[in-house]
């Protein structure tokens, strides 16, 4: 059995499914050689004329360029440059209508030719053996060569195929009606085309080169066969005329019996396909150094006076081509770019020629009938029979109308080569190919959006991952810092502990040294340690000396008992005053009147004492020790009385403040309490006045007793002093009684008269009474102080012992002779009266205790 290569070498051909036989109409334009056109007024060069990305601009508006100069630089993603087709000036760079059924604007360079057609410096290669594959491919790339059969795929990408190529297939079929550009090119430039084949043959190293040409082009077959006869690896094959045998997949099937897989390319099965126009451009780029700036275009149709093939500069407007060939438009004229099967009607004749433009068809209304209205599908299956890809055109059309894009992909929509065979045979005149083109565009746009979304998602996830990583790094950094700070803190604590231990040791050392120093100081002469009891011994010696002194004084004063009694009486009076002052704050608000009465009584007693002191003679400087003791006791009693009065005043203040706050709250509750408090105040005032009167009487009796003993000197003076003292005592007692009665009457009258009208008035009256009592206490204290001051001024101290000063404080005016004249009986009488006063004071203190509110 023959191998595939042997079958190919023997000239065997295979068949592809489907296909049609439309009228060829090639004789209109293939009879004349390829013509040259005059320079157009302007050239419009879209930046994108191929499959892939645009190049980046190298020129600006106003620049002057030469023929063949690069206007853009290729980038990535199958990018190709474009070149200036002639010399001239860049008039503008702006969007212009594109060579597409939609005529959507694309960024274009507008070149105004200068008419000189001056070339840029060229770099032709005479011997390709001096260049390696990479250099050759780079020349092809920089020349901007793309597939010129209609697809516009970058040639350098195919030439740099990563997969091994078994067969290089040259497409010279040109199966579509009316188009004869490749036919005339093969006839006129066969040697150049074979030279281009040999360049690719040297790069790809295929086993065989299969040159396929339809059998309706005998002149082209002969020319290519003659040019390739020196190369045994180039096999020229005549292929039966059938549309669309020029399709890439169909031609591979015809010549090699291999089928390109769905959604695949011929390189997947070791086959590479190139168009004859592309191979001629490769020859120009390598051997002449010229970039792709022109191509052969068929201008034909019944409205063209001279249909033929022309060399058209890229960017030339379609109008210029039509006018140069004698265009005579008809009514409802259509101009089609491409053939009648795969071409599209141009929206304007101002569209430029691009790298994929191979034909401009201007038919009349009879030549290419305008399709009628679309009718319903009759399910004849003619479209399925004509499809060269074995697809289901009717089903695809339904999915395209319903925009079921997933179903379209499942039914291999992208395997459709848009040959138009289905539309050509459809009796319902359904434009099936138009449905497929729109659906393909929608699916591509949808996939592009998905790609963008996926890229955005990837960027988002990458950003999120980066932020999380940075956050984790920051946390780890903080952890490291905290971990490093912990040992530092521990080290600091250890250092502090060590320092504290050192300080403790130093303090212990200093304490030990101090103890040692004290021990050394206490050592006796014999070097033995003795206990340090010196301070205790000194205190003990002082106490013993005081005891001895006290004992001696006691033995020297036999009459100390009487003096003790006087001192005890003074102490009793002071305690009575203190008890009265302490009970005052605990009493009810009306107790302020009792304080006033007590103050008045104290004033009376002070005046009586002063009178008694005036009646007595001034003591001598060398008075007996017993009299001096009595004077000291009297001074102590006065000081205690003054202290008790001060405490009573403070207690009165607090009581007044409490009483001022209390009535506003309690007056409304029970106005009878104020009356009860007033009655208690009146009773206490009367009692205090009576006691003050009795105390004054006792003082006057003492004063009377004193002058009887000293009557020898001046009895009249003593009698007058006694009378004055009695009068003053009576007056003080009366004033105290009147003050107490008036205060009590006011306090009593307030609640009884106005309790029913306004309970607040009772509280106000009680506050006034307390204020008056407070004022009277203050005046009494000032009066007592003035009396004491007068006594101090009258009795200046004399040179002598400390007892003389105590006598001056007492304010005594009697002489030393009068003091000595007192008989023991008089002193006993005074002691009895003092005992009586003490008893009365105790009784008064008990009564006040009983009257305290619970």
Q: How far apart are CA 509 and CA 206, in angstroms?
A: 106
Q: Where residue 483 falls among pLDDT bands split at 50, 70, 90?
A: low
pLDDT computed for residue 35 by the predictor: 94
Average confidence (pLDDT) over 246-263:
92
Q: Which of the pair, 850 or 666, is modelled with greater confidence?
A: 850
Could you tell me if 593 and 681 are in contact, meaning their C-beta atoms sit under 8 angstroms apart?
Answer: yes
Q: How far apart are CA 428 and CA 423, in angstroms?
A: 9
- Would you say 426 is a known binding-site residue? yes
Burial of 420 (0-12, 13-18, 19+ CB in 10 A): buried
pLDDT computed for residue 696 by the predictor: 47
pLDDT digits (tens, 9 = 90+) for 170-223: 999 999 999 999 999 999 999 999 999 999 999 999 999 999 999 999 999 999
Residue 127 has pLDDT above 80, yes or no: yes
> Which residue, among 152, 134, 184, 202, has the nearest Cα to 27 in the 3D structure?
184
Phi, psi of 217 (to 5 degrees): -125, 65
From 196-200, 418-422, 533-537, the region with the lowest mean pLDDT: 533-537
pLDDT computed for residue 762 by the predictor: 52
Phi, psi of 272 (to 5 degrees): -125, 135
Residue 338 has pLDDT above 50, yes or no: yes
Residue 500 has pLDDT above 60, yes or no: yes
Could you tell me if 522 and 534 are in contact, meaning their C-beta atoms sit under 8 angstroms apart?
Answer: no
Burial of 477 (0-12, 13-18, 19+ CB in 10 A): exposed
Residue 137 has pLDDT above 90, yes or no: yes
The structure tokens listed for 736 are 């105290």
pLDDT computed for residue 749 by the predictor: 41
- Would you say 359 is a known binding-site residue? no
Average confidence (pLDDT) over 397-412:
93
Residue in the structure block whose two tokens are 């017993």:
626
Q: Residue 311's beta-bridge partner residues?
A: 36, 296
Q: How far apart are CA 405 and CA 359, in angstroms?
A: 33
Residue 71 has pLDDT above 80, yes or no: yes
- Would you say 377 is a known binding-site residue? yes
Structural domains for the chain: 1-31+128-289 (3.40.50.11540), 371-486 (1.10.1060), 553-851 (no CATH)
Q: How far apart are CA 576 and CA 573, in angstroms?
A: 5
Q: Which of the pair, 663 or 519, is modelled with greater confidence?
A: 519
Residue 424 has pLDDT above 60, yes or no: yes
The structure tokens listed for 53 are 């990305």
pLDDT computed for residue 392 by the predictor: 94
Q: Which of the pair, 604 or 230, is modelled with greater confidence?
A: 230
Q: Where residue 156 falls among pLDDT bands split at 50, 70, 90?
A: very high
> Which residue, among 427, 429, 440, has the nearest Cα to 400 in the 3D structure?
440
Average confidence (pLDDT) over 455-476:
90
pLDDT computed for residue 498 by the predictor: 81
Helices 672-709 and 715-754, interaxial angle, to 10°?
180
Average confidence (pLDDT) over 73-93:
92
Q: Which of the pair, 412 or 762, is modelled with greater confidence?
A: 412
pLDDT computed for residue 571 by the predictor: 79
Residue 779 has pLDDT above 70, yes or no: no
CB atoms within 10 A of CB 580: 24
The structure tokens listed for 66 are 């030469």
pLDDT computed for residue 665 by the predictor: 37
pLDDT computed for residue 705 by the predictor: 42
pLDDT digits (tens, 9 = 90+) for 729-759: 566 556 555 544 444 444 344 333 433 334 4
Residue 812 has pLDDT above 60, yes or no: no
Residue 521 has pLDDT above 50, yes or no: yes
Residue 558 has pLDDT above 60, yes or no: no
> Which residue, among 775, 772, 778, 774, has the nearest Cα to 747 in the 3D structure?
772
Phi, psi of 552 (to 5 degrees): -65, -45
- Would you say 419 is a known binding-site residue? yes
CA distances 291 to 60, 138, 147, 288, 711, Å, are: 21, 12, 14, 9, 165
Phi, psi of 526 (to 5 degrees): -80, 0
- DSSP letter for 115, please: S
CB atoms within 10 A of CB 130: 8
- DSSP letter for 799, please: S
Q: Where residue 81 falls among pLDDT bands split at 50, 70, 90?
A: very high
Residue 801 has pLDDT above 50, yes or no: no
Could you tell me if 156 and 141 are in contact, meaning their C-beta atoms sit under 8 angstroms apart?
Answer: yes
Average confidence (pLDDT) over 482-487:
62
Residue 126 has pLDDT above 70, yes or no: yes
CB atoms within 10 A of CB 39: 18
Q: How far apart are CA 630 and CA 493, in angstroms?
A: 72
Q: Residue 172's beta-bridge partner residues?
A: 213
CB atoms within 10 A of CB 485: 11
pLDDT computed for residue 204 by the predictor: 93
pLDDT digits (tens, 9 = 90+) for 349-364: 999 999 999 999 999 9
Evaluate the omega torsion of the peptide bond into residue 243 and state whether it is cis, within 30 degrees of 0: no
Phi, psi of 285 (to 5 degrees): -70, -40
From 193-197, 391-395, 803-807, the region with the lowest mean pLDDT: 803-807
Residue 619 has pLDDT above 50, yes or no: no
Q: Where residue 598 falls among pLDDT bands split at 50, 70, 90?
A: low
Number of H helices, E strands in the chain: 24, 16
Q: Which of the pair, 666 or 48, is modelled with greater confidence?
A: 48
- Would you say 175 is a known binding-site residue? no
Identify which of 61-75, 96-110, 596-610, 799-813 has the greatest average pLDDT. 61-75
The average confidence (pLDDT) of the chain is: 76
Share of the chain above pLDDT 90, in %: 46
Q: Residue 236's beta-bridge partner residues?
A: 211
Q: How far apart are CA 47 and CA 427, in angstroms?
A: 41
pLDDT computed for residue 599 by the predictor: 60
Could you tell me if 88 and 28 are in contact, meaning their C-beta atoms sit under 8 angstroms apart?
Answer: no
Q: Where residue 602 falls among pLDDT bands split at 50, 70, 90?
A: low
Contacts 24+ apart (CB under 8 A), 757-765: 759/667, 759/668, 759/671, 760/663, 760/664, 760/667, 760/668, 762/663, 762/667, 762/671, 762/674, 763/662, 763/663, 763/664, 763/666, 763/667, 763/674, 764/663, 765/674
CA atoms within 13 A on the CB side of 373: 2
CA distances 20 to 87, 295, 545, 771, Å, are: 45, 28, 156, 136
Q: Which of the pair, 714 or 728, is modelled with greater confidence?
A: 728
pLDDT computed for residue 174 by the predictor: 92
Residue 431 sits at the vertex; the CA angle it makes with 426 and 433, to the nearest 5 degrees, is 100
First-to-last CA distance in the chain? Answer: 142
3-state helix, strand, coil in the chain (%, to 5): 55, 10, 35
Q: How far apart are CA 26 and CA 368, in angstroms?
A: 15
Phi, psi of 543 (to 5 degrees): -60, -40
Q: How far apart are CA 128 and CA 196, in angstroms?
A: 11
pLDDT computed for residue 728 by the predictor: 64
Which alpha helices (H) appear in 755-823, and where do they start and end?
Answer: 759-794, 803-810, 816-821
* Residues present in the chain in total: 854
Q: How far apart are CA 528 and CA 522, in angstroms?
A: 8
pLDDT computed for residue 52 by the predictor: 85
pLDDT computed for residue 176 by the predictor: 93
pLDDT digits (tens, 9 = 90+) for 670-692: 445 555 555 565 666 566 556 54
């Amino acid at each position: 059995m023959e191998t595939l290569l042997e079958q190919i070498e023997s000239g065997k051909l295979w068949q592809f499914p489907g296909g049609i036989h439309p009228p060829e109409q090639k004789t209109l334009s293939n009879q004349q050689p390829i013509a040259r056109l005059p320079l157009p007024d302007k050239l419009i060069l879209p930046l994108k004329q191929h499959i892939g990305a645009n190049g980046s601009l190298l020129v600006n508006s106003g620049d002057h360029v030469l023929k063949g100069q690069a206007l853009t630089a290729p980038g990535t993603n199958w990018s190709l440059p474009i070149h200036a087709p002639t010399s001239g000036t860049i008039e503008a760079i702006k969007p212009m209508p594109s060579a597409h059924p939609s005529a959507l604007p694309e960024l274009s360079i507008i070149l105004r030719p200068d008419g000189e057609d001056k070339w840029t410096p060229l770099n032709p290669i005479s011997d390709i053996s001096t260049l390696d594959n990479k250099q050759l491919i780079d020349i092809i790339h920089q020349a901007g060569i793309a597939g010129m059969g209609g697809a516009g795929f970058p040639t350098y990408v195919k030439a740099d195929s990563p997969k091994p190529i078994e067969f290089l297939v040259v497409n010279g079929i040109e199966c579509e009606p009316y188009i004869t550009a490749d036919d005339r090119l093969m006839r006129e430039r066969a040697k150049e085309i074979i030279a281009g084949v040999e360049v690719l043959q040297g790069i790809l190293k295929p086993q065989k080169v299969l040159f396929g040409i339809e059998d309706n082009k005998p002149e082209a077959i002969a020319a290519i066969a003659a040019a390739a006869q020196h190369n045994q690896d180039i096999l020229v094959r005549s292929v039966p005329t059938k549309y669309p045998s020029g399709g890439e997949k169909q031609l591979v099937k015809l010549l090699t019996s291999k089928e390109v897989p769905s959604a695949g390319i011929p390189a997947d099965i070791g086959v590479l396909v190139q168009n004859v126009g592309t191979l001629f451009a490769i020859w120009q780029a390598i051997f002449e150094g010229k970039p792709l700036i022109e191509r052969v275009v068929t201008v034909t149709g019944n409205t063209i006076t001279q249909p033929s093939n022309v060399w058209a500069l890229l960017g030339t407007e379609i109008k210029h081509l039509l006018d140069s060939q004698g265009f005579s438009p008809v009514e409802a004229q259509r101009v089609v770019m491409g053939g009648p099967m795969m071409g599209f009607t141009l929206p304007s004749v101002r569209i430029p020629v691009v790298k994929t433009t191979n034909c401009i068809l201007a038919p009349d209304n009879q030549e290419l009938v305008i399709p009628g209205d679309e009718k319903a599908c009759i399910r004849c299956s003619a479209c399925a029979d004509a499809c060269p890809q074995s697809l289901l055109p009717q089903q695809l059309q339904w999915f395209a109308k319903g925009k079921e894009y997933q179903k379209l992909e499942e039914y291999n929509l992208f395997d459709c080569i848009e040959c138009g065979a289905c539309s050509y045979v459809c009796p319902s005149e359904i434009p099936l190919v138009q449905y497929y083109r729109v659906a393909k565009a929608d699916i591509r746009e949808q996939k592009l959006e998905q790609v963008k979304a996926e890229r955005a998602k990837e960027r988002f996830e990458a950003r999120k991952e980066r932020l999380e990583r940075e956050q984790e790094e920051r946390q780890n950094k903080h952890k490291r810092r905290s971990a490093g700070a912990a040992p530092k803190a521990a080290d600091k604590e250890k250092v502090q502990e060590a320092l504290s231990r050192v300080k403790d040791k130093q303090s212990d050392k200093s304490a030990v040294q101090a103890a040692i120093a004290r021990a050394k100081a206490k050592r006796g002469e014999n070097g033995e340690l003795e206990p340090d009891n010196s301070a205790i011994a000194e205190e003990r010696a002082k106490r013993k000396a005081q005891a001895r002194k006290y004992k001696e004084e006691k033995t020297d004063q036999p009459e100390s008992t009487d003096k003790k009694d006087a001192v005890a009486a003074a102490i009793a009076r002071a305690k009575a005053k203190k008890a009265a002052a302490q009970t005052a704050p605990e009493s009810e608000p009306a107790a302020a009147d009792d304080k006033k009465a007590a103050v008045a009584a104290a004033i009376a007693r002070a005046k009586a004492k002063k009178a008694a002191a005036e009646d007595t003679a001034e003591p001598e400087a060398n008075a007996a020790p017993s009299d001096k003791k009595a004077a000291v006791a009297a001074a102590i009693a006065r000081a205690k009385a003054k202290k008790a009065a001060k405490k009573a005043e403070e207690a009165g203040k607090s009581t007044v403040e409490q009483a001022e706050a209390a009535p506003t709250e309690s007056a409304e509750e029970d106005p009878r309490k104020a009356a009860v408090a007033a009655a208690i105040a009146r009773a206490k005032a009367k009692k205090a006045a009576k006691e003050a009167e009795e105390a004054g009487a006792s003082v006057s009796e003492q004063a009377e007793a004193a002058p009887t003993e000293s009557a020898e000197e001046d009895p009249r003076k003593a009698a007058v002093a006694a009378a004055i003292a009695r009068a003053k005592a009576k007056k003080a007692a009366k004033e105290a009684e009147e003050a107490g009665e008036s205060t009590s009457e006011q306090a009593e009258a307030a609640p009884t008269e106005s309790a029913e009208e306004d309970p607040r008035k009772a509280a106000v009256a009680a506050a006034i009474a307390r204020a008056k009592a407070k004022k009277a206490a203050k005046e009494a204290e000032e009066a007592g102080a003035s009396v004491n001051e007068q006594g101090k001024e009258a009795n200046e101290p004399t040179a002598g012992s400390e007892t003389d000063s105590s006598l001056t404080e007492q304010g005594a005016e009697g002489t030393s002779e009068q003091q000595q004249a007192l008989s023991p009986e008089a002193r006993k009488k005074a002691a009895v009266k003092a005992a009586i006063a003490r008893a009365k004071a105790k009784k008064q203190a008990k009564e006040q205790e009983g009257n305290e509110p619970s």
